[in-house]
Amino acid sequence: MKFSTLLPSASAATLLTAVDVIPHEVQLANSLVNRAFPANAPHGYTPQTGNCPSNRPTVRAANGLSPQETAWLEVRRNATIQPMRDLLGRLNITGLDTTSYINNHQNNASALPNIGIAVSGGGYRAMLNGAGILEAFDNRTSNATSAGQLGGLLQSTTYLSGLSGGSWLVGSLYANNFSSIDSILAQDTSASGSGDLWQLGNDIFTGPATGGIQLLSSVGYYSALQSAVSDKQGAGFDISLTDYWGRALSYQLVNATDGGPAFTWSSIAEQDWFTSGSTPLPLIVADSRAPGEVLIPSNTTVFTFNPWEFGTFDPTVYGFIPMQYVGTNFSAGTTRSDQCVTGFDNVGFVMGTSATLFNEALTTINGTNSTGLFSSALQNGIEAVLAGFGSSDNDIADYPNPFYGYHNQTNPYAVSRQLTLVDGGEDLQNVPLHPLIQPVRHVDVIFAIDSSADTNASLPTNASATGWPDGASLIATYERSLNATMENGTAFPAIPDTNTFFNLGLNNRPTFFGCDPANQTGPSPIIIYMPNAPYVYNSNTSTFDLSYNDTERNAMVLNGYNGATQGNGTLDKQWGTCVGCAILSRSLHRTDTAVPDVCTQCFSRYCWDGTTNSTPPANYIPAMKLDAVSVTTSGAGKLSKSLSAALAGAIAAAATSLF
């Protein structure tokens, strides 16, 4: 594959500093404006049925990448060369002239590193921790392109996947023209500004604060939610709690009036900042689950949304349809008539689908409406949806099944007109690695950002701190890669048991898995595991904490930033060098280039060497790694303690994952 013309990296701007947790002290030269693309205007949230194109949509067999992704990769891989050259050039990889190395292979970018980033689930905790890490990886962030810093890694990345809370981060960035994290945090939230994005002080059940571009009272907010969902139902489409949840999310995550009800996921593919190859390919992950089914990694069909397609590489279904026509009735691999549906792929509904675990929150809130939290219209709408589902099936998103009658011998959903999707972490794979380890994508290195809340659930004592990861998601993906009926050629590095994660400290610091390409079963990528840990803030907030004031929000982001940079090198001045070595490792192997001594030293420090210690671990109460930042804690907009506890209990009881 030949790659020729190089595209310039994004220019730096004057942005929020990494140490500032009060964004209003910073003024941006490039203020945030209304963004995204209302492809379904003027119909808002309601899907539309019309004539299919002359080339009617069909199911594409998953025996390769789509023609659109293949063509886009030519442009994107080219666009990663300059930022990768800049990034590696300042990471001090002694013994290797990285600029010459990149230059020698720039006409065949497939020889160069192919990078993926995966952002786990875990509610706003996962969204904000992931945001801090992406902030450190972004060359638009102030100081991120200084010596040893990792700015430009995001611009060097080919794929960016998100799941549940991670999908809120990924989806929000792409729904807002791939805005930088700094520009979002520093937006003007005055009455004359447009600052409604990521304003998390009002929980999602209260609705946005009036001002900016959202002028709704709580009553108006509830009416708008109910109206949008009922209009979709009135157009003949089944609805679920995910419709309410996705619409509510959009008010916080999409910078447009009413959360951009006409904005669609497929319209990303039409944006010039995407078609020019200036950003990674966004991938959102959800699991399929028949009503009443219990998911485990070995039996779950994992579906992925990208701007061009929806479907799965899993051998059960092994097919994709055009994303634009999700919602259309298909049978045996083609549309059942000449009528096609557009506008079903609302960005909020896609994000909500990946995070359906939170539908239980709506159920619980609805059951406690003596607080007056909901309008009667919204309460009636939710009750009507609940009446149509069993109590164990409130956590689904309902889609017309495009794979009805398709691959009948292997497809467990071939007999159903509906495809029910659930939170992407319900099969325990809470880090969305699945789309990045597909062999056809040839990803070399994956930054696995894990904000799962595993601790206490996995440790036998209540003395351990809650809300920290323990590696369970990596274990689930590794075990699935060993399942001959589901692995589909995917290869994954060996991962130890959870006790080893605790006993060796692998859940408290970055660790590399799969460092030696000669010791892998198949072409597995290096996994750079980045578990959530307390660097400057106790970021183990509850998944069910549904509001953060600005100082809390910014402290969460800042903690993630410090995790990505290891305290700007305070914890390890060679951290940036070691990241560069991991990025280059598979490429060096592919081009038969000697590994520099400094990389060998890095791998001896950060690579898991196969040692295990499976004895029961001690209590896990991680210490703060750097000086803690202070925040202003406010009860404004918070749910009551009793209601928060009810939410936590209801969702945890329904969840099969540990996040």
Domains and CATH numbers, the chain: 23-654 (3.40.1090.10)
161 phi/psi in degrees, rounded to 5: -110, 150
State whether residue 61 is helix, strand or coil: strand
d(CA 494, CA 620): 24
Residue 34 pLDDT more than 70? no
Task: Give Rg (Cα) of the chain.
Answer: 23
Confidence of residue 519 (pLDDT cuts 50, 70, 90): confident
State whether residue 512 is helix, strand or coil: strand
Residue 494 pLDDT more than 80? yes
Between the alpha carbon of residue 317 and those of residues 406, 408, 477, the distances in Å are 7, 9, 19
For the stretch 134-176, pLDDT in tens is: 999 999 999 999 999 999 999 999 999 999 999 999 999 999 9
Greatest Cα-to-Cα distance within the chain, rounded to the nearest angstrom: 69
Map 282-331 to HEC letters. EEEEEEECCCCCCCCCCCCCEEEECCCEEEECCCCCCEEEEHHHCCCCEE
**CA angle (246, 250, 252) in 5-degree steps:** 130
Between the alpha carbon of residue 372 and those of residues 204, 219, 345, the distances in Å are 15, 11, 32
Confidence of residue 220 (pLDDT cuts 50, 70, 90): confident
Dig out the tokens for 278 from the structure: 């200036």
Between the alpha carbon of residue 229 and those of residues 188, 239, 246, 305, 422, the distances in Å are 30, 7, 10, 22, 19
Cα separation of the two ends of the chain: 41
d(CA 430, CA 449): 10
Residue 75 pLDDT more than 90? yes
For the stretch 225-251, pLDDT in tens is: 989 999 999 999 999 889 999 999 999
* pTM, entire model: 0.90
The H or E element that residue 516 is part of is none
Question: pLDDT exceeding 70 applies to what percent of the chain?
Answer: 82
d(CA 438, CA 8): 29
